[in-house]
Structure formats: structure tokens, C-alpha cells
């Protein structure tokens, strides 16, 4: 079996299509690191002039406002909230000017908590989150702002408690590991899963090009399939290598960050966010992505023995990647029991960070449920593949 | 040894193989001869279980049959088929191919270098097979099967694309493998070569496997049984029939005429020689019927 593994792997790494996939990933990675990452402009950035402008305006208002019986109720409201708010704002300003980043983090955490406490209920209907959330057509801007403020409050609080070296790049999540964290929350899992599909799509059916060389090998079809699956898994994991080149470039420019940096995890309880360490977050993501690879590989092995058509493999594989876009409806996750569909877990980073639960308005899309569903589906695909490949008259080629 | 029992294969209602029962013994070279598309490859594919026969079974060493996948693996450990040269991986070297086959069958690794040496492949074995000529590829395929070192070896068109030197070289290796107790089944169109080293030769016609000896009983005997005349006019054929009414005259599709002189004594053979000389026929030979002759006789109606 080891000999067959080596043989399959040799074929895999010398396959032109696979080499092309790795080269394209390397290109994407470098392009992202050199062109896209530098243009990253977070909504919640460290903007001294903005802080200062807001602080001075409110301070001037507080210094000059006269509260009496005739004062407009909104002015009274402003006075009641701006005093504490500006206290935090002032601390932020002072800390960043002094380059005291711990103090800045502490004040900023308080600032976000306080801002969200006032803005989310929006009792007077005059408070808004950062304008960056109010984009055209976004009817969930307030929810997005609420999430982002609490997220920021949580991570800034963790910065004050943690041992990580702080910097503006860390605050703006620009370091290599934080960029990876952001990418895992967006399209990186999709890129990895699609790469896995493309690498696996012909792993069985390519043998039809060399039938007389391979048909008579003294190895059962089931074992051949398992070895092919393992080779495909290894090949899919290797796709991380070209992608890491981009992270090295970003690390060289903005710092790498460290594995003790906090990653806020959303849950729908009273304390919306709790933090885990970056290392733990990345390990969970890696494990989840491995489960996705196993899911895709077992699915494609099953389709390969069932339909024996590469195009069918491609279509079925992509169906599983894009299916969630068809049924995704914000806030309706609990109604539709989306936690039972493996396709609901395609946004791996968002599942682990809890953002998917936030979007669906559910509590059930978790790392654990994802592993369970993906693992169960993988097991079912493998059982069916085993049964088919062990039929006496079954021919792999 | 490998036994085929009542093997029948039909494709689209057409009989490709009909109720074939035969035993191939250890230490035997079997020749399969037939025009293209008459079932040689199908028969080999059935032996390898690449094709499920409609009826019948393949039995290896009186105990193993293709009854389940586990047995299939056991049988493939003992029975191998030479790969087709067009199926080689062009981007990897010949040596890699040999290593793969050797490790898959867990055979003695020394066989790799010995086979390379024997087949004179050392100068190119480390190059990608994409750079090989047809003959080089064919030799590599043969070498791959040799390093697999299985008890039963099936070879379809093993001599294709080989020059006479290499045909001879491979023939010698086949004889050596036979002496090691291997069962070697060879399908080939190089009839003269096959005739030289095959212990039994079978024709396939209308889905049936026919032992050459059964259609030409004296085929293996070492005596003069035939006079082969390269070119002969129809008039002369008539004359010879009149002159020697008991001599069977047979014309082959390749233009050769055969006079059946089985059991003739020296005097009778002398008369025929005299007749040919009188009629100024110079291109003729006395000898035994060859596989080429039998092939022409057997398949000329088609």
C-alpha cells in the first residue's frame, strides 16, 4: 500500500493541472500580499485625527452648553452621555499620543462598550455607529455596527490583559496572523475547498488514461481509493504552502503578530463575545478545513465510482460549495435548521468566530456541530464507496 | 497453472468467446494467434478479470477464483499482464516505472537492474519515457512485467515495434522464464518467432480456442510433410494434380502453393522434384508446414 501511495503521490505532484493550481494559488497569494492587503482600510481604525476631532467637538459642547428649563431634550441627552463618552475619548487620545498602547486598548474597549450600550438601543433615534456600516442597500447596518463594536470592545479588552506586543497594526488587524484570521472569516476557506475539489476531481478517473498499467495492480479497489483519498488530502494540505508565501510577505511588512493575540468569539448570551487565543483559533480552523477536505474527497471518490465522470465530480463538488448561497437568509437559521446541512459550514472561519450564528440568528452552527455533521457525511460517503467498490463485478476503470 | 472453464463472452449479442475450457500449465509458453478483433485480447482480459465473462470461470492453482475482491487481489499477485506502451507515464522515467512494478508486487529489487542489463536499457532508463521510441517503450513494458515476477504472465503483442535483435533477446528471456516454471501466454503476430519457442499454439476463430495440433496433426513432427512453392500458375497446378492425383494441392492467400507430401518416401519426393524441375520451377522448398502456412490456410476464408 505504501508503494502505491508513493506512486500515486508521484503522479499527483507531476500532474500539470495540479502544478497549475499551485502556481495560481501562489500568484493569488503574492497578488493579495502585494496589492490587496496594503489597501485594507478597516472601518474600526486607529484614527487620531478622528478621535481628536470628536473629542474636541464634544468637549467644546460640554464646556459651552447651558442646561436650564428651556434646554432641548436632545441637548440634555447629549450632556448626559458625552461626559463619560468623552472621558474615554480623552483617555484614548492621550494614550495614543503618549504611545501608551495598553492604556489606549483599555480606554478603547470601554469606549466601544459604552458606545454600543447607547447606540444599539438608540432610545432617542439620533445615535449611529460608524458611517462605514451604513452602505447603500445594507438594511442590517445597525446589526453590523453592533457586532463590530462589541467585537472591538472584546478584543481591546483582551489586548490589555494579554502579553502580546501591541502596535497600531495589531489594533487594525493588519499583522500576518490577523490577516489570516480575517481571510479565514471571508473567502480563504472557499479557495481552499475549491482547490481541494480541483485537485481531487480526476484522482480516480485519470487512471483511465493508463488502464493497462494500473488495472492489474495487486491492490483492491477500495484500498486504491483510500490511498487516492490520502494523496488528495496531502495534496490539498500542500496548497497551504503557496498561500503562506503571501503571509510571509505581509509579515515582513506589518509584523507577524503572535499566537497569543485574542480572537473574539460571538455567542448569543449576555456577554456577546469571549476571546480565544489566535493559536487556538487557527488550530480549530485547520482542523475544520481538514474535515472539509475529507468531506470533499470522500464525496468525490463516491461520485467517481458511481458516475465515473470528471465533469459530474466538478458539478457535484461545486454544488456543495455554493449551495449555502441559495438558501442563506439572514436571521432565519434557526427556522430552517441549517445546522444539519454540511453546506452551512462552508464559511469555516465565520462558524468558529460565531459570525455565522450572528447572521443566521441561531446558536447551533458551532465548531462541534460542524465537525459532527461533516464527519458523519464523510463516513456515509465512505461506507457507500466501500459497498460499491467491493461489488464483485465492480471495475474501477 | 491456470485453468479456464466454460468461458463465454458476448458483446452486443455477438459471441466473442464461446465455451472455452483449457488448462495452461506451469513451465509452458502458450501462443495465441488470430487476426485482430477475434478475441485474443478479450481472452486475456477475462483471465485478468478486466472483463466479466457471461459464463465460466478462471481457476488459478486449482483453488483461486474471481469470486470476490479479496481473491482478485490474491490472483493479481500471481497473474500479471504486460502493460500497453501507450499507457506509460511520459513524465516519469523508465526506472521509476520498474521500481513501481517491483514494489507493487514486492519482488526482488535485484530484478530491476538485471532486467535493465539483459534488455540493454541502461543508456536510457533514467530518461522520461516521453522521449522513448516505440521499441524502447515496448522493451520497458516487457521489463515491467518481468520485474513483477508473477507466476502467470500474459503478453499481448509483446514483439510489436521491436527489431529482430530485440525480438530474439525477448524470446530468450521468455524461454528462461519458462524454465523458472512460469506460465507465459503470448499473443503475437510474429508467427515464425512464436513457432520457435511456444509449447502450444492456439488459434482463435469464431470465439473458439483451437489447438494448432488438432488442425494439423503433423505440425510438431520433424519430417518432410510439405513442398512449398512460391509462385505457381493455375495451369501448372492442374498439371500437378493430374500427375500426382493423390497429392493435395493447396493455394494460400499469400500466393504460396503447398503440396501435401505427408508419408511420401524418397522416390515419391524425387518424382515431385523432377516434375518441378521439368516445369522450370526454381523457388520451392521441402519441409514441414509452418505456423504461417497454417495461419493462411485457417484464416484465408475470411
Domain contains B169? yes
Instruction: Answer whether B64 touches A (CB < 8 Å).
Output: no
Note whether B208 and B248 are same-domain residues: no
- The CATH number that applies at residue B207 is 3.40.50.300
**Structure confidence at residue B298 (pLDDT):** 76
- Domain boundary among the residues B166, B196, B215 is at B215
Encode pLDDT of A89-105 as tens digits: 999 999 999 999 999 99
Taking the CA of residue A396 and the nearest CA in chain B, the distance in Å comes to 10
Note whether A310 and A353 are same-domain residues: yes
Note whether A256 and A309 are same-domain residues: yes
Encode pLDDT of B236-274 as tens digits: 888 888 888 888 888 887 788 888 887 788 888 888 888
Note whether B204 and B166 are same-domain residues: yes
Q: What does the block give as the cell for B222?
A: 520433424
Domain contains A268? yes
3-state SS, residue A330: coil
Instruction: Answer whether A222 touches B (CB < 8 Å).
Output: yes
- Domain boundary among the residues A171, A196, A230 is at A171
With CB atoms and an 8 Å threshold, state whether B83 touches A389.
Answer: no
Note whether B150 and B128 are same-domain residues: yes
Encode pLDDT of A116-157 as tens digits: 999 998 877 889 999 999 999 999 999 999 999 999 999 999
Are A81 and A36 in contact by the 8 Å Cβ rule? The answer is: no
Nearest to A218 among B67, B76, B83 (CB): B76
Encode pLDDT of A340-389 as tens digits: 999 999 999 999 999 999 998 888 899 999 999 999 999 999 999 999 99
pLDDT-wise least confident of A183-197, A280-294, A309-323, B184-198 = B184-198
Domain contains A187? yes
- Domain boundary among the residues A171, A187, A211 is at A171
A218 neighbourhood in chain B, CB within 8 Å: 73-74, 76-77, 104-105
CA–CA separation, B85 and A203 (whole Å): 22
Note whether A157 and A206 are same-domain residues: no
Domain contains A289? yes
Note whether B237 and B187 are same-domain residues: no
Q: What does the block give as the cell for B301?
A: 476464408
**Structure confidence at residue A335 (pLDDT):** 65
Note whether B144 and B283 are same-domain residues: no
Among B53, B71, B72, most A C-beta atoms within 10 A, so best to mutate, is B72
Encode pLDDT of B120-144 as tens digits: 999 999 999 999 999 999 999 999 9
Note whether A101 and A116 are same-domain residues: yes
pLDDT bin (cut points 50, 70, 90) of residue A192 is very high
Note whether A202 and A181 are same-domain residues: yes
Taking the CA of residue B210 and the nearest CA in chain A, the distance in Å comes to 26
Note whether A28 and A60 are same-domain residues: no
Average pLDDT over residues B15-31: 93
Tell me how far CA of residue A322 lies from CA of A194, A327, A355, in angstroms: 10, 10, 18
Domain contains A339? yes
Taking the CA of residue A293 and the nearest CA in chain B, the distance in Å comes to 27
Note whether B179 and B248 are same-domain residues: no
Are B258 and B240 in contact by the 8 Å Cβ rule? The answer is: no
CA–CA separation, A263 and A283 (whole Å): 12
Are B175 and B29 in contact by the 8 Å Cβ rule? The answer is: yes
Taking the CA of residue A188 and the nearest CA in chain B, the distance in Å comes to 32
Average pLDDT over residues B37-64: 92
User: In chain B, what percentage of residues exceed pLDDT 90?
Assistant: 54
Note whether A340 and A215 are same-domain residues: yes
Query: Is a pLDDT exceeding 80 seen at residue A256?
Result: yes
The whole domain housing B44 covers 2-215
pTM over 0.80: yes
Domain contains B220? no
Note whether B127 and B41 are same-domain residues: yes
Among A212, A220, A226, A396, most B C-beta atoms within 10 A, so best to mutate, is A212
User: In chain B, what percentage of residues exceed pLDDT 70?
Assistant: 97
Note whether A10 and A64 are same-domain residues: no
A213 neighbourhood in chain B, CB within 8 Å: 83-84, 87-89, 144
Note whether A245 and A337 are same-domain residues: yes
* Structural domains counted in chain B: 2
Note whether A271 and A205 are same-domain residues: yes
Note whether B45 and B164 are same-domain residues: yes
User: In chain A, what percentage of residues exceed pLDDT 90?
Assistant: 83
**Structure confidence at residue A146 (pLDDT):** 94
**Structure confidence at residue A380 (pLDDT):** 97
Query: Is a pLDDT exceeding 60 seen at residue A308?
Result: yes
| Residues paired with B286 in a beta bridge | B227
With CB atoms and an 8 Å threshold, state whether B72 touches A210.
Answer: no
Domain contains B81? yes
Residue of chain A nearest B68, judged by CA positions:
A392
Domain contains B100? yes
* Structural domains counted in chain A: 2
With CB atoms and an 8 Å threshold, state whether B69 touches A220.
Answer: yes
Are B1 and B148 in contact by the 8 Å Cβ rule? The answer is: no
Are A5 and B105 in contact by the 8 Å Cβ rule? The answer is: no
Note whether A325 and A193 are same-domain residues: yes
**Structure confidence at residue B299 (pLDDT):** 78
Domain contains A395? no
Domain contains A71? yes
- Domain boundary among the residues A171, A197, A218 is at A171
Sheet-wide strand order for B200-205: B79-81, B152-156, B183-187, B28-33, B200-205, B208-211
Note whether A236 and A371 are same-domain residues: yes
pLDDT bin (cut points 50, 70, 90) of residue A334 is low
Note whether B208 and B235 are same-domain residues: no
Which DSSP category does A319 fall into? Answer: H
A226 neighbourhood in chain B, CB within 8 Å: none
Encode pLDDT of A242-253 as tens digits: 999 999 999 999
Q: Check if the interface score ipTM surpasses 0.90.
A: no
Could you tell me which of A385, A214, A216, A392 has the C-alpha nearest to residue A308? Answer: A385
Domain contains B221? no
The whole domain housing A240 covers 2-40+176-389
B81 neighbourhood in chain A, CB within 8 Å: 212, 215-216
Domain contains B172? yes
Note whether B278 and B135 are same-domain residues: no
Which DSSP category does B12 fall into? Answer: T
Average pLDDT over residues B46-61: 94
Domain contains A397? no
Residue of chain B nearest A6, judged by CA positions:
B100
Note whether B234 and B137 are same-domain residues: no
**Structure confidence at residue B254 (pLDDT):** 75
Domain contains B131? yes
Q: What does the block give as the cell for A394?
A: 465492480
CA–CA separation, B39 and B4 (whole Å): 15
**Structure confidence at residue B301 (pLDDT):** 56
Domain contains A275? yes
Residue B293 class from Cβ within 10 Å (0-12 exposed, 13-18 middle, 19+ buried)? buried
With CB atoms and an 8 Å threshold, state whether A215 touches B50.
Answer: yes
Note whether B210 and B274 are same-domain residues: no
Instruction: Answer whether B19 touches A (CB < 8 Å).
Output: no
Are A148 and A142 in contact by the 8 Å Cβ rule? The answer is: no
Nearest to B73 among A219, A392, A393 (CB): A219
Query: Is a pLDDT exceeding 60 seen at residue A214?
Result: yes
Amino acid at each position: 500500500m505504501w508503494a502505491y501511495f508513493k506512486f500515486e503521490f508521484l503522479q499527483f505532484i507531476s500532474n500539470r493541472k495540479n502544478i497549475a493550481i499551485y502556481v495560481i494559488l501562489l500568484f493569488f497569494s503574492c497578488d493579495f500580499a502585494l496589492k490587496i492587503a496594503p489597501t485594507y482600510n478597516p472601518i474600526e481604525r486607529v484614527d487620531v485625527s478622528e478621535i481628536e476631532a470628536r473629542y474636541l467637538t464634544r468637549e467644546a459642547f460640554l464646556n459651552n452648553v447651558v442646561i436650564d428649563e428651556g434646554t432641548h431634550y436632545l441637548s440634555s441627552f447629549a450632556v448626559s452621555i458625552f461626559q463619560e463618552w468623552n472621558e474615554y475619548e480623552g483617555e484614548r487620545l492621550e494614550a495614543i499620543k503618549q504611545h501608551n498602547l495598553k492604556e489606549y486598548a483599555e480606554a478603547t474597549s470601554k469606549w466601544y462598550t459604552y458606545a454600543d450600550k447607547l447606540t444599539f438601543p438608540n432610545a432617542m433615534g439620533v445615535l449611529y455607529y460608524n458611517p462605514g456600516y451604513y452602505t447603500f442597500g445594507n438594511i442590517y447596518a445597525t446589526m453590523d455596527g453592533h457586532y463590530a463594536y462589541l467585537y472591538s470592545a472584546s478584543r481591546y479588552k483582551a489586548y490589555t490583559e494579554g502579553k502580546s506586543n501591541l502596535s497600531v497594526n495589531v489594533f487594525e488587524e493588519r499583522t500576518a496572523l490577523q490577516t489570516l484570521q480575517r481571510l479565514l472569516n471571508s473567502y480563504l476557506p472557499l479557495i481552499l475547498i475549491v482547490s481541494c475539489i480541483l485537485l481531487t476531481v480526476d484522482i480516480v478517473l485519470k487512471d483511465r488514461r493508463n488502464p493497462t498499467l494500473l488495472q492489474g495492480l495487486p491492490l483492491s479497489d477500495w484500498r486504491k481509493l483510500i490511498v487516492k483519498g490520502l494523496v488528495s488530502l496531502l495534496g490539498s494540505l500542500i496548497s497551504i504552502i503557496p498561500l503562506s508565501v503571501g503571509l510571509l510577505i505581509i509579515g515582513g511588512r506589518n509584523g507577524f503578530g503572535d499566537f497569543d493575540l485574542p480572537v473574539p468569539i460571538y455567542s448569543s448570551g449576555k456577554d456577546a463575545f469571549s476571546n480565544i487565543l489566535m493559536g487556538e483559533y487557527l488550530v480549530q480552523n485547520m482542523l475544520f478545513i481538514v474535515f472539509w477536505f475529507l468531506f470533499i474527497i470522500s464525496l468525490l471518490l463516491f461520485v467517481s465510482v458511481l458516475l465515473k465522470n470528471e465533469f459530474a465530480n466538478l458539478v457535484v463538488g461545486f454544488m456543495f460549495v455554493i449551495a449555502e448561497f441559495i438558501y442563506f437568509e439572514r436571521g432565519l437559521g434557526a427556522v430552517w435548521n441549517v445546522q444539519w446541512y454540511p453546506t452551512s459550514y462552508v464559511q469555516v472561519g465565520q462558524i468558529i468566530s460565531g459570525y455565522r450564528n450572528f447572521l443566521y440568528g441561531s446558536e447551533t452552527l458551532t465548531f462541534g456541530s460542524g465537525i459532527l455533521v461533516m464527519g458523519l457525511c464523510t463516513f456515509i460517503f465512505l461506507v457507500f464507496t466501500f459497498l460499491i467498490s467491493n461489488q464483485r463485478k465492480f471495475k474501477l476503470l | 497453472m491456470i485453468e479456464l472453464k466454460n468461458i463465454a463472452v458476448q458483446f452486443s449479442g455477438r459471441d466473442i468467446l464461446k465455451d472455452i475450457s483449457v488448462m495452461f500449465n506451469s513451465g509452458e509458453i502458450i501462443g495465441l494467434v488470430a487476426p485482430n478483433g477475434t478475441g485474443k485480447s478479450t481472452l486475456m482480459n477475462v483471465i485478468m478479470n478486466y472483463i466479466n465473462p457471461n459464463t465460466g470461470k478462471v481457476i488459478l492453482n486449482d483453488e483461486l477464483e474471481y469470486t470476490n475482491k479479496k481473491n482478485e487481489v490474491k490472483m493479481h499477485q500471481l497473474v500479471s499482464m504486460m502493460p500497453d506502451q501507450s499507457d506509460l507515464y511520459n513524465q516519469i522515467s523508465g526506472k521509476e516505472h520498474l521500481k513501481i512494478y517491483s514494489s507493487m508486487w514486492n519482488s526482488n529489487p535485484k530484478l530491476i537492474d538485471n532486467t535493465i542489463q539483459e534488455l540493454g536499457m541502461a543508456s536510457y532508463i533514467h530518461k522520461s519515457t516521453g522521449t522513448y521510441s516505440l521499441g524502447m517503450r515496448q522493451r520497458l513494458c516487457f521489463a515491467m512485467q518481468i520485474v513483477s515476477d508473477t507466476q502467470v504472465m500474459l503478453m499481448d503483442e509483446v514483439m510489436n515495434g521491436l527489431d529482430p535483435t530485440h525480438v530474439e533477446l525477448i524470446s530468450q528471456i521468455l524461454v528462461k522464464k519458462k524454465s523458472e516454471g512460469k506460465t507465459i501466454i503470448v499473443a503475437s503476430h510474429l508467427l515464425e518467432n512464436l513457432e520457435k519457442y511456444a509449447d502450444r499454439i492456439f488459434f482463435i476463430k469464431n470465439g473458439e480456442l483451437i489447438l494448432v495440433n488438432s488442425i494439423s496433426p503433423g505440425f510438431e513432427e520433424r519430417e518432410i510433410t510439405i513442398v512449398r512453392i512460391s509462385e505457381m500458375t493455375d495451369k501448372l497446378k492442374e498439371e500437378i494434380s493430374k500427375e500426382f492425383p493423390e497429392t493435395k494441392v493447396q493455394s494460400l492467400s499469400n500466393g504460396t502453393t503447398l503440396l501435401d507430401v505427408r508419408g511420401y518416401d524418397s522416390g515419391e519426393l524425387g518424382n515431385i522434384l523432377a516434375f518441378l524441375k521439368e516445369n522450370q520451377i526454381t523457388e520451392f522448398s521441402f519441409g514441414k508446414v509452418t505456423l504461417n502456412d497454417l495461419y493462411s490456410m485457417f484464416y484465408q476464408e475470411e
